[in-house]
Amino acid sequence: MFTTSTDLTSFVKNTNGNFSVNSKPFRFVGCNMYELAFMEKNVSDRMIEDAFNEGFKVIRFWAFEPLKPEKLIDLCNTANKFSIYLIPVLADKWGYMQDYVVNDEWFATGYKNTYLPYAIKMVSALKDTPVILLWEVINEPESDSFDVFYNFIRDVATRIKKADENHLLSIGTIGGLGSKYGGELTRFSTKNFRKLYEIPFLDAVSVHDYSFDATIAERLDTLYRFKGKHYSAKLFELTNYYITYIPLLVKRLWLKKFGKSITFPFTLKWLWRNYIGKNISIARELKKPFYLGEIGYKNNLKLDRIKIVENEMEKYFKKGIQGFLLWSFEAQGWSKDGHNYGFTKQDNFRDVIHKQNKILRN
């Protein structure tokens, strides 16, 4: 029913825990443009072209119901012209641009009403399109019941792979300290994370990393912004400013003198990165590619973001990760981030993105 162009003729595969195309390694730096699929064609075309000009090889975005297959096909056609792969995300825990609320009742039975038929419809329509790198089941899920969530993922993954055997599939998990599947203390155990990704129909391991600027106050600021509680968010934003003032001075001096960022031990960043390291090890043991589906660096800390991003990419790829997707590229004035992680062409990431992707090709 639908057609796409054929410049990207080969599907991305998992080869012994690494992404590959035509049996050759495929590692990449990409970006998130979450509103891409909900823009008019002339806008989404320009957004993809902007991503190409910045040097990005992959774009991740929301593909929530009621998006039509025709729109996703059109995005594939445009992305194909620029040899850019796409990662559509089929639902969202936070409910943005989505008509239903995701909670444990939804994970238990509610997803079967509209989400599952929609997901099957989308993957079936795109199953022969190599431009899709992989599908993600849901963005940043969490649950008070691991068993309920596990059964949801297992059922959805089984049905999606039955409808589309060509594409890889991942979840869209936060990982690190964000993997809450049960009580709050489950964040400090990787057992459930491992069990999820042991599901045979899941092909790749995804994690989100906002640890670089993280403190307890900063995380509470972000949480309350998500919940629309702006007074509480502002209170924690101010608290974070004062408690990080001196550490930021040290970071600036260190970056200026040594050209590298510093991580203080026993901080939230240090702990978060430690758990991401555990997630990377799990992916390696399961022989499934590991990629950072989202990673962000705040624009309001008066640090050299370009140098930081370059250093961070180098460090992570040395650890064997397969993909590094920056949050959030505000191309054409869209996909704006409300937590100061956004960036535009004027932030001048272009040279380091092109440089890193060139290194990854060699």
Least confident of 84-93, 104-113, 183-192, 297-306: 297-306
Q: Before 328, cis peptide (omega within 30)? A: yes
Tokens 């993280």 belong to 214
Residues 12 and 168 sit within 8 Å (Cβ to Cβ): yes
Instruction: Please provide the DSSP assignment of 30-83 as one string.
Output: EEE-TTGGGS-HHHHHHHHHHHHHHT-SEEEEE--TT--HHHHHHHHHHHHHTT
Taking the C-alpha atoms of residue 354 and residue 346, their distance in angstroms, rounded to an integer, is 16
pLDDT score, position 175? 95
Q: How far is CA 162 from CA 68, 76, 138, 166, in A?
A: 21, 22, 18, 10
pLDDT of 177 above 50: yes
Residues 138 and 91 sit within 8 Å (Cβ to Cβ): yes
Q: How far is CA 68 from CA 37, 126, 157, in A?
A: 9, 11, 21
pLDDT score, position 48? 99
pLDDT score, position 227? 77
pLDDT of 2 above 60: no
Q: Which two tokens stand for residue 350?
A: 């272009």
> How many beta carbons lie within 10 A of that of residue 319, not counting itself?
12
**pLDDT over 70 percentage in the chain:** 97
pLDDT score, position 267? 86
Least confident of 156-170, 231-245, 296-310, 343-357: 231-245
Band of pLDDT at residue 7, cut at 50, 70 and 90: low
Q: Which two tokens stand for residue 153?
A: 């993922």
Query: Looking at residues 25-35, what average pLDDT do you find?
Result: 98
Residues 39-63 pLDDT 10s = 999 999 999 999 999 999 999 999 9
pLDDT score, position 6? 36
Taking the C-alpha atoms of residue 171 and residue 185, their distance in angstroms, rounded to an integer, is 21
pLDDT of 131 above 80: yes
pLDDT score, position 4? 38
Taking the C-alpha atoms of residue 126 and residue 4, their distance in angstroms, rounded to an integer, is 9
pLDDT of 3 above 80: no
Q: How far is CA 92 from CA 141, 212, 279, in A?
A: 7, 23, 21
Residues 54-91 pLDDT 10s = 999 999 999 999 999 999 999 999 999 999 999 999 99
Query: Looking at residues 278-302, what average pLDDT do you find?
Result: 95
Query: Looking at residues 125-152, what average pLDDT do you find?
Result: 97
Residues 273-286 pLDDT 10s = 999 999 999 999 99
What are the strands of the beta sheet with 18-21, ordered from one edge? 13-15, 18-21, 24-25
Q: Taking all residues of the chain, what is their mean pLDDT, rounded to a whole number? A: 92
Residues 198-238 pLDDT 10s = 999 999 999 999 999 877 777 787 777 777 888 888 888 88
pTM score above 0.85 = yes
Residue ranges of alpha helices (H) inside the chain are: 41-54, 69-81, 104-108, 115-125, 146-163, 191-197, 216-226, 230-243, 245-258, 268-286, 305-318, 350-361
> How many beta carbons lie within 10 A of that of residue 47, not counting itself?
25
Taking the C-alpha atoms of residue 71 and residue 37, their distance in angstroms, rounded to an integer, is 7
Catalogue all structural domains in the chain, each as residue range(s) with its CATH number. 13-212+261-361 (3.20.20.80)
